[in-house]
Amino acid sequence: MAVTDYVLRPVREAEFEPWARMIADTYGADRSETAIADQRAATDLDRTLGAFDGDVPVGGASIYRRTLTVPGARLPVAGVASVAVTPTHRRRGINTAMMRRQLHDLHEQGREPVAVLRPAEAAIYGRYGYGPATVGDRIRCERRELVFHRDVDFGDGTVHLVDRSTALPVITRVYDRTRATAVGWPDRDPCHWTVRLSREHAAAGTTSSRFALHREPGGEVTGYAMYRHRSGQEARTVVLEELVATTRQAHAALWRFVAGIDLATWIEHEIALDDPLRHLLVNPRAVESSAVDRLWVRLVDVDRALAARRYATAVDTVLDVEDAFCPWNTGRFRLCGDGATVSCERTGDAAELRLTTTELGAVFLGGTTLNSLAAAGRVEELKAGALTRVSAAFRHDREPFYPGGWAFPLY
């Protein structure tokens, strides 16, 4: 069958449960009635696509409207999630049709200028114009090896364990204060927090979440750690889901707390590439790590997207952009910005750089550099000196980091 033999349309209310179970099954997950209900509460059916073979859902993809912190701004984005095609209907163009429908709808309706996703398979989404914009540092530490420098400033605050009901209203405020300036962090709605903190959605073999709050002497909460225990045949592991702090002292104090959890042998977590943890330790090699791409960015409309963020240095350049999947983006754009105002408009002027929307997505959050992409042959410099100048403008002073989850952190 060709993709035209399937109907691609928004999912109807009566179809949601079989659609959601199809998505879960494709990801190798089970979903209880409670989990399905939680997912439905977080889902906008008008932005949830299903591919149907007769009455049977065989593919799907959702969009959650989110606000993402980008360099110098907070930007509405289309958070793409629950993308799946059943094993019986693979290699028939269904995923491509869903991705095209999403992006064309966003463009034609003038909705979010940027789409973002965290792909289960990294090899798929470059063909649709997405580029890897954040990298997570997955770490594993032997707990007893986390010895801190004697002069680390842990502040005067204290760490307290609290239950879920006490933690929820407090950690959401800490998260929101942190994400205001943390590039790559999305906002989270109540549905997200309900699911993220639920035992129902815990990974197999782990406990429910534990919560530790860092309080200043005056009572203000300036950080939290959220973690689970996982027991193995030989060792117990603390799976640190989140460690969020608004001060460097709270960050250090929470890591000291985690390093002091008795009976645990290992600690697992994911941090930003420039997280200060290693600088706190006598032996930075105690932190074993591996890098993994996380948030991929797709510029739906190049002009609107590039004008929505701010730049590290003044920029005035012309980009020759190629976009085979969304041809309305193909052409030359003049990008001008002075730190306070930015414009991006079509032009007939000579271009300084040539690249595709995949590369623009990769550099959009200020982590990946145009220089590194050019070294891989992915960006062409058309005017001498332009590459270094424009690459510096796109950079951000901290590495972007994606802490996980849209409205519904399913998998």
Residue 246 domain-assigned?
yes
14: domain CATH number is 3.40.630.30
Q: Which segments of 260-344 does DSSP mark as H helices, in order?
A: 277-280, 302-308
Burial class (CB in 10 A: 0-12, 13-18, 19+), 400: buried
**Under a CB-based contact definition with an 8 Å cutoff, are residues 216 and 222 in contact?**
yes
Indicate if 285 and 177 belong to the same structural domain.
yes
Strand order in the sheet with 56-70: 7-10, 48-53, 56-70, 73-85, 114-117, 296-299, 131-132
- Confidence (pTM): 0.94
Mean pLDDT of the chain: 93
Which spans in 112-162 are helix H?
none
pLDDT digits (tens, 9 = 90+) for 178-192: 999 999 999 998 888
At residue 381, does pLDDT exceed 90?
Answer: yes
Collapsed DSSP state (helix, strand, coil) of residue 58: strand
Question: Is there a single domain that holds both residue 170 and residue 269?
Answer: yes
Q: Give yes or no: 125 in active site.
A: yes
Hey, how many other C-beta atoms are within 10 angstroms of the C-beta on 134?
27
Residue 26: name the closest of 55, 50, 1, 54 by CA.
50
**Annotated binding residue at 84?**
yes
In a domain, 82, yes or no: yes
**7, 25: one domain:** yes
Answer yes or no: do 238 and 359 share one domain: no
Same domain, 33 and 78: yes
Give domain status of residue 399, yes or no.
no
Q: Which of 6, 27, 128, 411 is catalytic?
A: 411
Tell me, yes or no, whether 245 lies in a domain: yes
Count H helices and E strands in the chain, helices first. 11, 19
Per residue in 296-310, pLDDT (tens digit) is 999 999 999 999 999
Does any domain span residue 32? yes
Instruction: Judge if 24 and 103 occupy the same domain.
Output: yes
- CA geometry: angle at 332 spanning 304 and 376, to 5°? 95
Q: Are residues 259 and 239 part of one domain? A: yes
- Kindly state whether residues 335 and 235 are assigned to the same domain: no
94 is an annotated ligand-binding site residue: yes
Q: Which residue has the tokens 């739906």?
A: 300
pLDDT for res 145:
95
Both 335 and 245 in a single domain? Answer: no
| Long-range pairs for 233-240: beta carbons < 8 A, 24 or more residues apart | 235/265, 235/266, 236/263, 236/264, 236/265, 236/266, 237/264, 237/265, 237/266, 237/267, 237/268, 238/143, 238/264, 238/266, 238/267, 238/268, 239/203, 239/206, 239/268, 239/269, 240/267, 240/268, 240/269
For 366-388, the DSSP string reads: SSS-HHHHHHTTSSEE-STTHHH
Q: Is residue 92 part of a domain?
A: yes
Tally of domains within the chain: 3
Which of 255, 276, 293 lies at the terminal end of a domain, its last residue? 293
DSSP letter string, 187-208: P--HHHHHHHT-GGGPPTTB--
Q: How many residues does the chain have?
A: 411
Smallest CA-to-CA distance from 128 within 302, 357, 342, 289 is with 357
Identify the pLDDT of residue 407.
47
Residue 85 counted as an annotated binding residue: yes
| 187 and 258 share one domain | yes
- Looking at residue 268, its pLDDT comes to 96
The one catalytic residue among 6, 27, 64, 125: 125
Question: What tens digit of pLDDT does each residue of 147-172 get?
Answer: 999 999 999 999 999 999 999 999 99
User: What's the rounded mean pLDDT across residues 384-399?
Assistant: 97
Write down the pLDDT at residue 411: 40
Task: Say yes or no: 104 and 166 in one domain.
Answer: no
Examine residue 125 and state whether it is found in any structural domain, yes or no.
no
Same domain for 235 and 172: yes
pLDDT on residue 200: 54
pLDDT value of residue 39: 87
User: Residue 257: what pLDDT?
Assistant: 98
180: in domain: yes
Note down the domain range covering 344: 301-394
d(CA 59, CA 5): 13
Q: Assign residue 38 a region: left if phi > 0, alpha if psi is -120 to 50, beta otherwise?
A: alpha
* Ligand-binding site membership of 91 (annotated): yes
pLDDT at 379: 98
Phi, psi of 91 (to 5 degrees): 60, 30
194 annotated as a binding-site residue: no
Identify the CATH number of the domain in which residue 362 sits.
3.30.1050.10
